[in-house]
Each structure stands twice: as C-alpha cells, then as structure tokens.
Structure 1
Amino acid sequence: MNTAADKAHSASLERDGRVVNSTHGDIRPGEIAIGVIIGRTTEFFDFFVYAIASVLVFPSYVFPYLQPLEGTLASFALFSLAFFGRPLGTFLFTYIDQHHGRGVKLTIALFLLGGSTMAIALLPSHAQVGATSAWLLGLFRLLQGVALGGAWDGLPSLLSLNSPEEKRGWYSMIPQVGAPLGLALACALFAYFLALLEPSDFLRWGWRYPFFVALALNIVALFARLRIVATPEFKRLFDNRELQPSPPFETLFSEWRVILLGAFAPLASFALFHLVAVFPLSYNQLFTTSSPVRFLIIEGLGALLCVVAIVASGILADKVGRRAVLGVSAALIGTFCFAPVLLGFGQFGEGLYLLLGFILLGLSFGQAAGAVNGSFRQQYRYTGAAIVSNSAWFIGAGFAPLVALWLTATFGLWAVGLYLLSGVICTLGALRINRQWGRRESESESPAVVAD
C-alpha cells in the first residue's frame, strides 16, 4: 500500500472519529484533563502491577532456583527491560503516526500494552517450562516498554497548550496525578488478594487478576484518549505543528543539548519515585518479617497523600514559578538522602519513610515533567518531549530498584541515600546550566510541551 493511500485512509478514519466523538468545536482543558488522568492512571497501573509482582511473585515463580535476594535482583533486572523498550517504541510509533495517523498509532500501542500485560497474566512458571519462563517474562516486559513509548499521544501537550499562562503549573501537574492513583489501585488489588487467599493459591493463580484488570482499564483508556485526539482542536494544533511529530533522529541531532538537559533535570524526582514506590516493598519482603498486606495498605495510603502533594505543587508553581519548585524540591530530596536508614527501624520507621517520601515525591514529581521543553524549537517540541521523557525515566528510574536493593545487600541502607543524592546533584546541575529556561518559557509564543 502506498504512503499517499495510507495517509488518505487514516485521515478519513480520524475525520469520521471527529464527527462521532466531537460535541463542539473547541475542547476545554477540563475535558482534556480527564482524558489525560485516565490515560496516565492506566499506564502507571500496568507499571505498578508489574513492579509489585516483581517482588511478591516472580522471584519464587520464575526464579525458584535462586535465593530470595538473588531472585528479586533478577526480577528487577527484567523490570528494567521496559526502559530499554520505551525509546524503541518512540521511534517505531512515530513512523506509524506519520504514515497512518494518530488514532491508528494509539490503538496499536495500547493493544500491544494490553496484550503484553495479558501475556504476563498467563505466564507459565519455571516448574512448568523451565528457563523459558524467564525468557518469556523478559520478552513481554520489553514489549510493555515498546508500547509505553508508542502510547505518547500528545494529550499532556494539548492540555498545556489550552491552559491559561498563569495556570501553567496547575495544568502541568495534572498528568502526574496518574502515577500515585495507579499505585494506590495496584496496592489495593494485591493487598486484597493476599489477604483473601492462602499463599499457595495466591502464587498459583491469585496474582494474575490485577493483570486482567490492567487489560480492562487499557480498553477504557483507549476510548477516552481516542475521543480527544479526534477533536477539531487537536487537529488544528497538529496542523499548526504544535502537536506534529518530527523525525526522531533529526530531533535528536538538532536538539541534543536540550534533550540531555531535559533527561537530567527531573533525575532527583524520578530516582525518588522508585526508591519510595518500589524499593521499600522489596526491603520489607526480604529483610523484615512484616506482613506485605500491611505494607501495601500503608503504601497505598501514601500514594493518596502523594496526590495531595502533587496538587499543592501546581498551586505553588503558579505562585513562585515551576523552576523554583523544582530547585527547592530537589534540595529537599537532598536532605532526604539520610531517610532510607529509617526502613531499618521497624514499622514506625517504615511508615515515617513512606510518609515523608511520598510528600516530597508529590512536590517534586508534580512539576518534573517537561522541565526544559520550552527550550525546544517549536517544530521539535512534540517528538523532543517524548525523547526527553523516555531518557529521563531510563537514566533516573529504570535501574533504581535494582541498584538500591544491591546497595542495601552489599553496603547497607545508607548507600541508598548516596545513590539518591547523586540524582539530586544531577537535577540541580541541569537546572543551573539551563538557567535561561524560565525566561525562554515565558517568552515562548506557546506554552511548553509537557512530557508524561
């Protein structure tokens, strides 16, 4: 099929979608916000369902021949594969976007995400297929990453572009709310099945149900997001190049300085993200006798507290500026580098670590997305934002659970604090180098694109 025919066919599909889905000519920020929150919540729910299973299920289900610590480290190594897949997904699905349209790209990406998640739910154990179980898990995890890289839909960008300039901090934090909501839902489901079932039943079949729920949520998210991308306002911004993808390699070579700074600017927040949301569960499971149900409940409540802190970050950013919130929160995270040792002080220490950690995470993570994207030239902002997001997650978060657990087992909890401090130094350094970001963002003719 030739390219012209592909574009014509795609254009006709999206035009039909606009007729069916659009009730008015202009799309309001509130409607975009709902689509963004639904989309990000489902993506992060998939993410955290896998992360929790990496601690509670896969070490004994896929790696029963290893000691619990080594099995968890192997599980976290497979966990990191998704962050290798995200850049691949960006490059692959940018091509699909350019040749077949946004709706086709988003549909394929979310079905790939849902299919990979379903495949993990049906994963055979090591006892059934031997080492093939680990190979299959790695493949499905890699495909999840490819799908997440391709699921970049521009909705956070559309939300930012439709927001009042004086409310840019508020609307920038909205996509970030999906992360703690997804975590809270994942914690609730796993806690429910752990409390309901005998350990043998949970390990045999109970753990699969949260993955089935993830597939159902992906289908809901697909329709919610397709409705937005089929609106006339999205088409207008796309045609004006505000939301039009540029060739990834051209963007990479033309804007490499901004991409490099953008990857390091949120490093403190992204490192803290996994050191609060994923690593503590592995410590609880391996080094304490505390119930995972109790821990998951506390973590879920902490995630809801994180939502409140994210909302507060939006209010603060509109009063003092996003760059100031990023800088101050990074400095506060620097003081938090002493906190990992609290995990060694029993249930009170665990609770205090999670409480403080989620508050700091919300304040920093709420404004961490797209910290330097206003520095992109307009024609590169859409694709550049996706590349920055993938790079930041890869560098700052992809290996954090693996590194933190290895450091704890080798040197102790204090070493995790040094690892977190390295992310803080990178963030403060990137913000200092890019000190003109605030001026360029305010002078830009259109608001900065927000990465997911």
Structure 2
Amino acid sequence: MTAHIAPTSRAPTSGTAERDARAINARHGDVAPGEIAIGVIIGRTSEFFDFFVYAIASVLVFPSLVFPYVDRLTGTVYSFAIFALAFVARPVGSLAFLWIDAAMGRGTKLTVALFLLGGSTAAMAFLPGYETIGIWSAVLLALFRLGQGVALGGAWDGLASLLALNAPANRRGWYAMIPQLGAPLGLMVASALFAFFVTTLSSADFLDWGWRYPFFVAFAINVVALFARLRIVSTPHYANLFESRELQPSRVIDTVRSDWRNIVIGAFAPLASFALFHMVTVFPLSWVFLFTHQDPARFMVIEIIAAAFGVVAVIASGVIADRFGRRTVLGASAAGIAAFSGFAPQLLNGGDAGELAFMIIGFVLLGLAFGQSSGSVSGNFSSAHRYTGAALTSDLAWLVGAGFAPLVALLLAANFGLLAAGGYLLSGAIGTLVALGINKELAGR
C-alpha cells in the first residue's frame, strides 16, 4: 500500500498537540535555525536514549530475566538477536508512517510514532520474567522490540533535512553534525541511570525492579521530544517546504526506481561509523561483563567519559568538514577506523587503562565519522525525492551497518578472539571507502 502513496498538496492535519504548537508559534514568531537545532538534538537524544536503555538491559538484565535456562553468553546472544529485530522492523515503520504522513500530516505521524516508541519502551518495564510466564517472556520482549523499530521508522521527521536546507553553503558540515550529537548524549544519560541503580541497589533488587526505572524515564523523555519537534513542524516555514515538495513524501516505488543507486551508496557510505558505533557502545559492555571480572558500573562510567570525548569529536567533525570537505572527513575517519580495528579490540583485555584507551580512541573516531555520516549523499536526491530517499537510506544504513553488529561481534570474539571482532570492523571501513570511491557527486564536492 505504501508504494502507491500519492503526494498531497494540503498542509498536515492538526491534532491537539500540534494546534498548541501552532499557538506558541503565533505568539513567538517563526522558529530560528538555532531552535531547529535544539529540536533536532532533543529528538535524536530521546531516540538514542531508548536505543541504549534496551542495549544495556540486553547485557545486564535480559539474559538472567528472560533466558535463565541457558548460560550467560548464550542468553546475551539471544538478547542481541532480539536487539536486531528493531532494525529489521524500521523500514516497515518508514513505509507505514510515510502513508500516515501523506494522508494525515506530519504532526499526526510524529505523535503516533513517538507514543508508540515511548509506549513500547515503557512496556518493557513491566516485562515478566521466564520464571513467571515461561517462553512468553521472550515473545513479549521481541514484540516490544519490534514496536520500537516500527516507531523509529515513523519518527523520521525531516528535521535534519530542514537543517540542511537552511545551512549556508560554507556551513553544511556544521549543520550535518548537529543531529548526530543525540547518540553520545543518549548514551551518557542511559549509562548514568543504569550505573546509579547498579551501584545503589543489591543485585537482587536491581534484577527485580531497579532496572525498570530507566524504561519509565524513556517514555517521559519521548513526550518532551514530541512537543519540541511539533514546535518546529508546525511552523509556516516548515509547512511551506512541505507544500513546495522539499519535505514532502514521494511515492516509494518512484523514489527507488529513480534513486536506487543513491540509496545503496548512501547506506554503505557510513558503514565504518555504524560498525564502530556498536563496537564502542554495546559490544564492549557485553565483553567486559561476560569475560572479565570488572564491575559493570565502573565500565559504564568509562562509557560516559568516552562519550563526552565523542560529543567533542562530533562537533569537531563539522568544523573540519567545512574546511576540508565531508568526503575527506569520511574517508580519513574510515582509514583511521581500519587502523583501529587492527589493534584496539585487544585493549579490552588490558584492564582499566586498556579499556579507557579503547573507549576514548574509539569514540573520537566515531565522533569524526558519525558526525558526517548523516545524509552523506542526500544532496544527490532531487527535491521531489529527498524526504523519502533520505528516510529509506537511513533505514538501510542502520540495518546493514549496525543492526546485527553486537550479535556478530560477540560471536566472533567469543569463538575466535577479539582480533576477529576487529576484522568485522575492518570490513565496515572497507565498505565506506568503496562507497565513497564510487559516489561521483560526493567526490566532485
């Protein structure tokens, strides 16, 4: 059904929340680019917070709660398999919500998507364990994870594209990095919450009820993010861009037929950063928890410190890209990630100093690469296909580059050693370099 979406010329339908946002805009005037940036950061931080809350629980909680009948390594592998379901479901969510977007408006789409995202995340807080309902615990967890994935596909709001459309020609790298700040910020908040409960509660209390609180917080953060984003999509400027087709959903079949090369290249161009994304966020926690005697709370503090370096690196990527070009940043960071893959994973067996070195170096490389990975080929799309093309490219990039990364990396490392996990990271760097090499438009810039 989604493939037959017909563009509509009317403005988005207003719900109660959107009417409130319009009333605020009427009192305070149009939204400035800085406010757009804040709205984008809040929105992305909320999405990544939901993402990392599940990721951390998949290491610390779900193996014991949902899969107590297998060893801890196998339980973590099962949790990571369910983790990947969201990335499989995300394209389905994009297709379904593109139809809602065209039929009922951007405000309705965002409201439904963010409440589904928050609701799916909050529902995990009530998840009964295997000891209570048996295998249905895993079934419910998988269903909630699928709900997160569908909602993430629907949460695509085009605000990153709006930033790009408002960016001066010499500041495109700076504006491209702004949405990417949500990843390290979301990790910092999620890690801090879990570290607090792990250190203040007994193991029994944490596994019984303490781990559930971050999932409740996720719902509240999504409500705040909803209003921040509705504040922007309800502006006359955004509506005008929607009307002029700059931010209007196009027919999926038409977009794929005319821009399939851009979609494929756009999915592989950020492969290095997306592979590294999970190698320094989700995978290290699982390795430390399963194969060392280190306290997980202590390692989450290391994650917070490293993520702060990541924030600085993301910001730096915008400055460097505007000076030397985005292709240069992506290519150089991919080469750095390739070199990193040859030695760095072994640092996870190097105690406190090794783990800190791995995380800080990894997050600096991640910040430089990930900071410019958003829409790295979005300029290739025509205005008529930019909105839908960017959404499809993002979904495919996350699926190919990140969806199965924790699962694959853990299996490789557990069976063949940390060097094998580095080989997986190297393959992502090679994918990025190849994609950049064949992207003529990006090379021309």
TM over 0.5: yes
2:210 matches 1:235: no
- Equivalent residue in structure 1 for 2:393, among 388, 395, 408: 388
Match of 2:189 among 185, 188, 202: 185
Give 1:17-416 correspondences, 5 Å limit. Answer: 17-23=21-27, 26-338=30-342, 339-416=344-421
Structure 1 gap ranges (5+): 443-452
In 1, Cα distance between equivalents of 2:173 and 2:365: 17
Looking at structure 1, the residues matched to 348 and 282 of structure 2 have their Cα atoms a distance apart, in angstroms, of 13
| 1:265 partner amino acid | A
Q: Give the Cα–Cα distance (whole angstroms) in 2 for the partners of residues 204 and 251 of structure 1.
A: 48
Indicate yes or no: 2:424 matched with 1:426.
Answer: no
CA 1:125–1:261 in 2, change beyond 3 Å: closer, same or farther? same
TM-fit CA distance, 1:164? 1.2
Partner SS, residue 80 of structure 1? helix
Deviations 1:125-164 (A, max 9, x none): 0000000000000000011000000000111111111121
- 1:347 Cα deviation from its structure 2 partner: 1.9
Q: Deviations over 1:285-319 (max 9, x none)?
A: 00000000100001011111100000000000110
8 Å CA contact 1:28, 1:162 repeated in 2: no
TM-score by length of 2: 0.95
Deviations 1:194-252 (A, max 9, x none): 00000000000000000000000000000010010000110111111110011223212
Could you list the per-position Cα deviations for residues 328-376 of structure 1 after superposition, in whole angstroms to 9, with x for gaps in the alignment?
0000001001210111222221111001001100011000111111111
1:289 and 1:193 map into 2 onto residues whose CA distance is 19
Q: What is the alpha-carbon distance in structure 2 between the residues aligned to residue 373 and residue 427 of structure 1?
A: 16
Contact map agreement 1:7 1:101 (CA 8 A) in 2: no
CA distance in 2, matches of 1:437, 1:329: 16
Q: What CA distance in whole angstroms lies between the structure 1 residues aligned with 2:143 and 2:257? A: 30
Q: Are 1:25 and 1:232, in contact at CA under 8 Å, matched by a contact in 2?
A: no
- Tell me the secondary structure at the aligned position of residue 152 of structure 1: coil
Secondary structure at 2:31 match in 1: coil
For the residue of structure 2 that corresponds to 1:436, the secondary structure is helix
User: CA offsets per residue over residues 160-207 of structure 1, 9 Å max, x none?
Assistant: 111211111001100000000000000000000000000000000000
User: Shift of residue 280 of structure 1?
Assistant: 0.2
Q: Is the 8 A contact 2:437 2:443 kept in 1?
A: no
Q: Work out whether residues 22 and 230 of structure 1, in 8 Å CA contact, stay in contact via their aligned partners in 2.
A: no
1:20, distance to aligned residue in structure 2 (A) = 3.9
Structure 2 distance, partners of 1:376, 1:233, is 21
The verdict on how the C-alpha distance between 1:10 and 1:361 changes in structure 2, with shifts beyond 3 A counting, is closer
Q: Given the superposition, is the C-alpha separation of residues 74 and 11 from structure 1 closer, same or farther in structure 2, using an over 3 Å criterion?
A: closer
Query: Quick one: structure 1 residues 204 and 316, their matched pair in 2 at CA, closer, same or farther if it must change by over 3 Å?
Result: same
Instruction: Give the conservation status (yes or no) of the 8 Å contact 2:249–2:388.
Output: yes
Deviation at 1:17, TM superposition (A): 4.5
* Aligned mates of 1:12, 1:60 — CA distance in 2: 45
Aligned residues of 2:338 and 2:429 also touching (Cα < 8 A): yes
Paired with 2:319 and 2:213, the residues of 1 have a C-alpha distance of 38
- State how far apart, in whole Å, the 2-side matches of 1:25 and 1:154 are: 21
* C-alpha distance in structure 2 between counterparts of 1:171 and 1:9, whole Å: 26
CA RMSD across the alignment: 1.7
CA drift of 1:19 comes to: 3.9
Instruction: Say if 2:83 and 2:145, in contact at 8 Å, map to a contact too.
Output: yes
How far, CA to CA, are the matches of 1:208 and 1:334 in structure 2? 38
Number of aligned pairs? 437
Alpha-carbon contact 2:11-2:239 (below 8 Å) kept: no
Closer, same or farther: CA 160–7 of 1 in aligned 2, 3 Å: closer
Q: Match for residue 440 of structure 2?
A: 435
One-letter code aligned to 1:168: R
Q: Is the 8 A contact 2:49 2:186 kept in 1?
A: yes
Q: Distance in 1 between matches of 2:119 and 2:183?
A: 21
Superposed displacement of residue 24, structure 1: 5.4
Give 1:28 shift.
Answer: 1.7
Write the distance in 1 (CA, Å) between the matches of 2:307 and 2:11.
43
Measure the CA separation in 2 of the matches of 1:102 and 1:186.
Answer: 28
Deviates more, 1:53-62 or 1:16-25: 16-25
Counterpart code for 1:397: A
Give structure 2 stretches of 5+ with no counterpart.
none
* 1:378 Cα deviation after fit: 1.6
